[in-house]
Amino acid sequence: MTTAALSAGELAAVRADFPLLGRGLRGGRPLVYLDSAATSQKPEVVIDAELDFYSQRNAAVHRGAHQLAEEATEAYEQARAEVAALVGVPARELVWTSGATAGINLLAYAMSNASLGRGGEAARALALGPGDEIVVTEAEHHANLVPWQELCARTGATLRWIGVDDDGRLRLDELATVVGDRTRVVAVSHASNVTGAVTDVRTVVARAREVGAFVFLDACQSVPHLPVDLPSLGVDAAAFSGHKMLGPTGVGALWARRSLLEAMPPFLTGGSMVEVVTMETTTYAAPPQRFEAGTQMVAQAVGMGAAARYLRELGMAAVAEHEATLTRALLDTVAAVPGVRVIGPTDPTDRLAVVSFVVDGVHAHDVGQVLDDAGVAVRVGHHCAQPLHRRFGVAATARASASVYTTIDEVAAFGEALAHVRPFFGLGGAA
């Protein structure tokens, strides 16, 4: 099942893999989980992988010569290979992190340390100072904005950004002027966690190449939903989290091209990331271990590996095709309810099944409450993207987001509940 969308039978089988989807809510209502962009549910293979690790293989990895340590190390490295394969990169270029936020901070702090002269000659290309520029976008999640703001504050570099059009798409026409000779890093998300818009990464990369900047991709929202081959996108580094791609919380990955990883000085320092330590000084292990200080989240890494394997076995093309159906259904559903406005593209092309919206006259929090009463779980708030919400003149939106286990019937149930929102608050517009 790697070329076509999921059949009804296949989708039913997928749902049966997720124990939580079978539970009911207050008053016996079935759960309609439309908050996968915040965090996904976990298939049994992921839960079992963690359970199996703790009950059969638990030991410290990369140290100790006993059999358990060997088995734990093998599970840990096998998981790295599984996750790397999902995004088309060599395992030795993939660094475990505690999540995408940690991955982005790792990269930013490596550059910060390079700017302080750490990492020697190799790291000099990563050093920033006054006059240098980092370019982000107005659509970024705070995780791909604040670390770059802070890096600029520490180094004297300047943060610039490209805007978002009224449809929620990036103003890639601004690349020509915003990205220039001073640009050192372009940090952009592959897909917005608010608008669902998928970035034309190749256009971003092409402009960055012209000026010799490197490109970082926040791939949190794309990796769980689209076939992603990081090297062929042309980016230099990327981060994504385990918990949004059917894996555990507390684990994620940072990928960077080998040459970039090798040039990066360490961020967190301590045990397991060293080569030779004397009382005066330390030399560091080669990547990825250089960036994995201290005891790692091994069970979660093994769980993330199981999630990557699960997605690869489903086939990301099939996942994407199924979710494209859901994107259209979500957009049609929201469009059919009077007084509801989408924040983001209404055209399903290059767009994920993440639909944020405002209901005229009703605050997002109240929208979420009425939907919750019908068993429909959505996210409300600013979704860690305050500048994007400000761009659209709203403080908060409600967001319905799907994943591979979401069904058309759930989208219909969401639509039915949404139609009750305005009437509940005494406003017109019952569908």
Partner 1 sequence: MSSAMEQLYQQLILDHAKHPHAKGLVDGAAAESHQVNTTCGDEVTLRVHLDDGTLERVSWEGQGCSISQASISVMSELVEGTSVDEAEQLGETFRALMRSRGEGLSDELEDQLGDATAFTGVAQFPARIKCALLGWAALRDALAQAGVATNEEDA
Active site residues: 384
Straight-line distance from the first to the last Cα atom of the chain, in angstroms, rounded to the nearest whole number = 38
Site size toward partner 1, by CB under 8 A = 20
The CA-atom distances, in angstroms, between 312 and each of 13, 224, 402 are: 16, 10, 18
Site for partner 1 in 392-411 (CB under 8 A): 395-396
Q: Which window, 148-156, 279-287, 367-375, 408-416, contacts partner 1 (CB under 8 A)? A: 367-375
Q: Which window, 118-126, 171-179, 381-389, 406-414, contacts partner 1 (CB under 8 A)? A: 381-389
Q: Which of 283, 227, 234 is nearest to 257 (CA)?
A: 234
Binding residue for partner 1, selected from 369, 377, 387, 429, defined by CB under 8 A: 369
* 28 binds partner 1, rule: CB under 8 A: no
The rounded distance, in Å, linking the Cα atoms of 87 and 1 is 19
Mapped onto helix, strand or coil, the DSSP state of residue 29 is coil
* 138 binds partner 1, rule: CB under 8 A: no
Q: Which of 308, 410, 404 is nearest to 10 (CA)?
A: 404
* 425 binds partner 1, rule: CB under 8 A: yes
Degrees, nearest 5: CA angle 397-334-28: 85
* 360 binds partner 1, rule: CB under 8 A: no
Q: How far is the CB of 25 from partner 1 (least distance, A)?
A: 10
Mask of contacts with partner 1, 200-219, x by CB under 8 A? --------------------
Burial class (CB in 10 A: 0-12, 13-18, 19+), 349: exposed
Give the residue with the Cβ less far from partner 1, 11 or 25: 25
Give the residue with the Cβ less far from partner 1, 160 or 389: 389
Binding residue for partner 1, selected from 366, 387, 391, 416, defined by CB under 8 A: 366
CA 223, 226, 231, 233 torsion-angle sign: negative
* 143 binds partner 1, rule: CB under 8 A: no
User: For residue 354, which phi and psi values (nearest 5 degrees)?
Assistant: -130, 110
Q: How far is the CB of 91 from partner 1 (least distance, A)?
A: 38
Binding residue for partner 1, selected from 380, 400, 404, 411, defined by CB under 8 A: 380
| Whether the Cβ atoms of residue 260 and residue 94 lie closer than 8 Å to each other | no
Report the interface residues with partner 1, using CB under 8 A. 26-27, 362-366, 369-370, 373, 380-382, 386, 389, 395-396, 424-426
